[in-house]
Amino acid sequence: MLVKARLSHQESEEVVAAVKADPEVVEAQALPTPVCRDADDDSVLATALVAKPDALVTGNKGLLVRARHEGTPILIPRDCLPFMRKGRATGAMVAFPSSRVSYRRTV
């Protein structure tokens, strides 16, 4: 995902370090009504409702077309670092491909 974002090696390391620093694993309930065509995408959104991140970071097009969910911006990885550096994020959630587990990180 970070290669696609076209981040420098240093920027990639900064993002990875921030996500690994203090992850919090959360459990979510299913959404009351499906929102996306893909049930896995709904699982990510349900997790975001519990984690309450400042941003959801993903490369998933099914999520990105929404732009926001329940007030949470959905960002591409390339936009994550500037968002974090501007101090707009105290917690970021990263949706990992092929994983139903998402993490919330307090920066």
pLDDT class for 2, splitting at 50, 70, 90?
A: low
Q: Give the H/E segment covering residue 85.
A: helix 77-85
Q: How much is the pLDDT for 22?
A: 67
Nearest-angstrom CA–CA distance, 60 and 95: 8
Can you tell me whether residue 97 is helix, strand or coil? coil
**Local structure of 63: helix, strand or coil:** helix
| Residues pairing with 105 in the sheet | 23, 92
- pLDDT for position 51: 83
Q: How far is CA 74 from the centre of its chain?
A: 7
Average pLDDT, the chain: 75
pLDDT value of residue 64: 92
pLDDT tens readout for residues 74-97: 988 778 777 777 665 556 555 544
pLDDT number for residue 78 = 78
